[in-house]
Amino acid sequence: MFQEEIRLASWNLINGQLRPTYLKNYGTRLRARISLGAIDQAISEWFKLATWLEGRGIYRLADCDTDVLHDYGERCRDSGVGRQQVYKILGMLTRLWAFDQLSARPNGIGRPPWEEAGVDDYLPAATTLGGENETEPLAEETMGPLLVWAMRVVDDLAEDILAAWTERQRLTDIARTSTATEAGAAALRAYLGPLVAAQAPLPATVYKNKIGLARRYIGGITGASANQIERFSVREGLVAAVAQRPGPCPLNVAVSGRIAGKRWRSMIDFNEAPTLMRHLTTASFVVCAYLTGARPGEILGMRSGCCPDPMPDADGKVGRHLIRSSVFKTAVDEYGNHKSSGVERDVPWVAIRPVVNAIRVLERMVPEGALLFDHDVHDTMSRPGTGSLKTATLGGRIEAFIAWANAQAATHELLGEAIAPDPNGAIGTARFRRSLAWHVARRPNGLVALAIQYGHLRTAVAGSYAARSRGGIQDLIDIETARAVADTVADLHDDLEAGGGMSGPAAHRAIKAAATAPRFAGTVITATTARRLIANEDAMIYDNPHALLLCHYKRSTALCHRDGVKDTPSLDHCVPGCGNIVRTDQHAIQLRERATAMDTRAARVPGPLGERLRGNADKLRGYADAHDRTRITLTEDAG
């Protein structure tokens, strides 16, 4: 019933634009034109409205007045869809009405009630901030080994994989262009004849779950034409033989990459090269997505040449590598219309060495100036598509990469480097950014820090573009830091109330802070709240599980500042004897447990290393004994 009316509305949406006089009332919330993807979504929502109207016995948009749209708006609100998505849907319906006002043949749809009364009454309740602030960070047991394997593939195995892919492409080109010659026939007989005579395994491939003769590989090796290979196969009965005796298709590529000090394999197979290339692309994405703090779309917008080597300044000093890429979500032209091609980001990202390595690998895969994750290059199945790989595609590839990495860990007996399943499900592409903030704020000495062996991750990531970019990764780091501190203070408060004791130079300050600090249980911590909390030295108590202590941070007495960071402590550089140290009863227990573990290791290690372990164990017991002697409780502090 509504097909013609929606077709006309769609034509207006595609070819027209909203008037400036209409847009000026909306500031930046509404644009004259929208992207192709948004057009597709809008038309889909219009058809959903039409289906709902038909169910109510309404068959013309002219009969869909403000009251009807009020009912539909409430239906959207109560549908169980998230607040942000409902907001988008209502905006698409507003656009249907707005373009109808501009049409030469208006359909007469009523004005949406949220245009006059406001949109809040038609949105689900705002329970949290939503978005990436509420995205679950990846568990350390997942992210740490995942980063280890991603960097290993980029740094140690990329040369072998790229060489194998080049050789596979060379053989494929030969097989595709070869014509029937006597030399090709002779080479075919010389290659396959001895294998057939000895009933040895034959070069095989798998297609649609069936084992078959690896014709392209054989054609590339011998230069024989497809017809020559087919005739030889029929004459010698190779279809049945290869099913019984499938063999490898080794590429003539020297393998030099190593895992745990040993060559990672004896050869690379012709059939495996595309899979390894996909894993190399995926590994590069993981490294870039996690270690830059950029959003997935921003990573996928990077092009070859986006991260040039820095030139030395007048003093000969070489600065950091910077990544310049495009943003898409907020990209508009001079008229305020959405620009699907994106615009260059005003402020670049800082790239640490693992990211630079990943970009250099990707640049070897794509033409100069092309997208680093170009679909045409990275879709080894040659399926139609434009632009970069889609995030959904990469999400699936990440899961495949994890399965492959775990298989490699088992093969090389590296069970400690297996990637554990994340408790919150699939990895996806959007969780790396929040995970970076979580690990920087809460685990400066954790598995991820060990994976990259980079102690100044906070400085590199937060002290660069993000500190100057509203909504950047620094906001996420601040929020995560505030959450961590709030959790620490709450636990400390409960421990003191239960009679727990504290020791250390900052113990009295910490007891006062735990007793008076605000409680954030069930409260949304915004970037503004986080910055206010971080600026309050009296409230900032940081947990350092690696050093088995708390840091009641005070800038003037901190001994950890070696890299210029002033707003928060450098927990990876915690210095014994610092005036900010606090220990609890639980820390004393953990110190003795760690000392016992060191003694056990020392008994198995002869010589100076064993003596060093025993010395460290004695030092830890000394810290625990000092805590027992000097601990104070909430009651004693009050007295």
C-alpha dist (Å) from residue 406 to 46, 157, 331, 409: 46, 16, 40, 5
User: How much of the chain exceeds pLDDT 90, in percent?
Assistant: 41
pLDDT band for position 381 (cuts 50, 70, 90): low
Q: How far apart are CA 433 and CA 91, in angstroms?
A: 28
Looking at residue 470, its pLDDT comes to 36
Type of residue found at 636: E
Q: Write out pLDDT tens, residues 334-353.
A: 655 666 666 776 677 778 88
Same-domain check for residues 338 and 232: no
Confidence of residue 467 (pLDDT cuts 50, 70, 90): very low
Q: Same domain for 538 and 574?
A: yes
In a domain, 98, yes or no: yes
Same domain for 310 and 455?
yes
Is 132 part of a structural domain of the chain? no
Per DSSP, which regions of 374-518 are E strands?
501-503
Do 629 and 582 sit in the same domain of this protein?
Answer: yes
Cβ atoms within 10 Å, residue 114: 21
Q: Is residue 219 part of a domain?
A: yes
The answer to whether residue 261 sits within a structural domain is: no
Shared domain for 542 and 599, answered yes or no, is: yes
Query: CB under 8 Å to 567, separation ≥6 — which residues?
Result: 534, 535
pLDDT, tens only, 267-311:
999 999 999 999 999 999 999 988 887 888 888 889 999 999 988
Q: SS3 helix, strand, coil % of the chain, rounded to 5?
A: 55, 10, 35
The CATH number of residue 297's host domain is 1.10.443
Is residue 308 a part of any domain in this protein? yes
Query: What is the distance between the alpha carbons of residues 633 and 501, in angstroms, rounded to a whole number?
Result: 5
pLDDT at site 566:
63
Name the domain boundary from 405, 426, 461.
Answer: 461
Do 581 and 551 contact (CB within 8 A), yes or no?
yes
- Stretch 156-169: mean pLDDT: 97
The enclosing H or E element of 258 equals: strand 258-259
Q: Are residues 633 and 513 in the same domain?
A: yes
Question: Which residues are paired to 583 by β-bridges?
Answer: 503
69 with 41, same domain: the answer is yes
The answer as to whether 152 is a domain residue is no
As a whole number, mean pLDDT of residues 158-180 equals 96
Asked which of 76-90, 398-412, 440-454, 515-529 is least confident by mean pLDDT, the reply is 440-454
pLDDT number for residue 141:
87
Contact at 8 Å (CB) between 214 and 204? yes
Instruction: Determine, yes or no, domain membership for 625.
Output: yes
Q: Which amino acid is at 17?
A: Q
Q: Residues of the chain with pLDDT > 70: what percent?
A: 80
* Nearest to 143, CA basis, from 481, 440, 460: 440
CA 411 – CA 507 distance, rounded (Å): 50
Three-state SS at 53: helix
Q: What are the tens digits of pLDDT across the range 543-575?
A: 888 888 998 888 888 888 655 556 677 777 788
Say whether both 51 and 198 belong to one domain: no
Residue of 541, 549, 550 lying closest to 489 (CA atoms): 541
Look at residue 201 and tell me if it is in a domain: yes
pLDDT band at 29 (very low <50, low <70, confident <90, very high): low
Residues 225-273 pLDDT 10s: 999 999 999 999 999 999 999 999 999 999 999 998 999 999 999 999 9
400 and 287 within one domain: yes
CB 153 within 8 A of CB 280: yes
Domain limits at 31? 3-127
Q: How many domains does the structure of the chain reveal?
A: 4
Q: Is 104 helix (H, G, I), strand (E, B) or coil?
A: coil
Q: Give the 3-state secondary structure of residue 70.
A: helix
pLDDT band at 116 (very low <50, low <70, confident <90, very high): confident
Q: Are residues 457 and 483 in the same domain?
A: no
Q: Tell me: do 454 and 542 sit in the same domain.
A: no
Tell me the C-alpha distance between 577 and 190, whole Å.
77
Q: Which range has the top average pLDDT, 140-144, 198-202, 313-317? A: 198-202
Say if residue 4's pLDDT is above 60: yes
Tell me what pLDDT residue 132 has.
47
Residue pointed to by tokens 């949105």: 123
Q: What is the CATH number of the domain that holds 93?
A: 1.10.150
> What is the chain's length?
639
Q: How many CA atoms lie within 13 A of 157 on its CB side?
A: 28
What is the tens place of the pLDDT at every residue in 431-465? 887 777 666 666 555 444 444 433 334 444 444 43
pLDDT band at 27 (very low <50, low <70, confident <90, very high): very low
**Judgement on whether residues 574 and 445 belong to the same structural domain of the protein:** no
